[in-house]
Amino acid sequence: MKDVYILAIESSCDETSMAIVKNGHEVVSMVVNTQMDTHANYGGVVPEIASRMHAENITMVLEETLKQAKMKVSDVDAIAVTYAPGLNGSLLVGIECAKVLSLVYNKPLIAVNHLAGHIYANHIDNEMNFPLLALVVSGGHTDLILMHKDYDFHVLGRTLDDAVGECYDKVARVLGLKYPGGPNVERLAKEGQPTYKLPTIMDDGSLNMSFSGLKSAVINLVHNETQRGNEINTSNLACSFENAALGELERKTDLALSKYQVQELIIAGGVSANKHLRSIMENLANKHQIKLSVPPFKYCTDNAAMIGSAAYPLFLQKKFATHDLNASSHLDLY
Ligand code: KG4
Ligand code: ZN
């Protein structure tokens, strides 16, 4: 079969990214332009600023992606773009760019769900072995997904309130750490001991999870101790929080692996960059004698290579989008 090159665009949050991906798992080129430093001044992503910066940067990102690949738009077979979920204004910049390229160069348009992208980040430089269990852990999602084949997503359990990444970000803020909180909490936690007693989460025997009680417990603890004039040992608190949060992910993933026979466990989304989580999942995979697949660090957080990878099965199935494609901020994958 002829090689398939997909030009993929990701702009759902605060990264403007494009990539050219060959046959769904070979990254020919990738550019990620992050706005992180700008949003760090506000303690989180400001949607209006994010969409303006996407609009300012997207042409430059396209030129650089093509230059790195030594290719022209006319050389690719399809244009893929993230259409949901995400910030509406940000998504629209990527979508409009994709539509223009698709129309001008007469290439099929492929609409990709951002979460499918995170899962298919595991397909880059790698094969996915079905059936598999995917733990999707990002700023907006915490889901356990069973897949028997491509694009066959069954939700076994999910957070009933906050996503684990969001919880990391809120805890970071109350500890006085900079945005994005996850990596900074991880760094601080490594220096500490789990000395603070925090509530254990959702022990109801289901595969659902909950993180808002833990988040509130950390915030309340910091406020109460500050009011009393007591000093907080921030590295010990970060460590106690991380142990509780990752402990919840460990228990529920372990339970899912006991209930469902799979060949492989994969982790996906921004929080999968966490080294402590990776080692917990490595141990679980060993315990259940299955393979663990983890995306390389650069494909854990938002990037367009994962969108190109997730677009490939849709290309093979000729599932193309029409040019009235619109953004959707809350659309569910499953
Ligand atoms: O997947 P992602 O880049 O964006 C969304 O789709 O949400 O995930 C971002 C989330 C943020 O909440 C960030 O704090 C968290 O992933 N994150 C981490 C780490 N790196 C990123 N959380 C814990 N440890 C990390 N090393
Ligand atoms: Zn993401």
pLDDT of residue 202: 66
- Cα(136) to ligand 2 centroid in Å equals 10
pLDDT of residue 331: 66
**Locus of tokens 């609009």:** 55
List of the chain residues with pLDDT < 70: 202, 329-331, 334
Q: Locate the DSSP E strands across 129-248.
A: 132-137, 142-147, 154-158
Cα 169 from chain centroid? 14
Give the ligand 1 atom nearest the CA of 168.
Answer: 14
CATH class of 5-120+299-316: alpha beta
Q: Parallel, antiparallel, or unpaired: how do β-strands 78-84 and 5-10 relate?
A: parallel
Q: List residues near ligand 1 (CB under 6 A).
A: 13, 118, 138-140, 165-166, 168-169, 180-183, 186, 269-271, 273-274, 301-302
pLDDT of residue 154: 95
C-beta neighbour count of 52 within 10 angstroms: 15
Per-residue pLDDT tens over the stretch 278-307 = 999 999 999 999 999 999 999 999 999 999
pLDDT of residue 40: 85
Residue 162 contacts residue 173 (beta carbons within 8 Å): no
Give the ligand 1 atom nearest the CA of 275.
Answer: 26
Sign of the dihedral defined by the CA atoms of residues 157, 162, 164, 166, in that order: positive
Same fold for the pair 5-120+299-316 and 129-295: yes
Which mutation among 301, 307, 330, 332 tests ligand 1's pocket best, with the greatest number of atoms within 8 A of CB?
301
pLDDT of residue 334: 64
Report the distance separating Cα 200 and Cα 80, nearest Å: 42
pLDDT of residue 43: 81
Spell out the domain ranges in the chain: 5-120+299-316, 129-295
Which mutation among 114, 168, 175 tests ligand 1's pocket best, with the greatest number of atoms within 8 A of CB?
168
Pick the CATH number of 129-295 from 3.40.640.10, 3.30.420.40, 3.30.70.240, 3.30.465.10: 3.30.420.40
Give the ligand 1 atom nearest the CA of 165.
Answer: 12
With left for phi above 0 and alpha for psi between -120 and 50, is residue 186 left, alpha or beta?
alpha
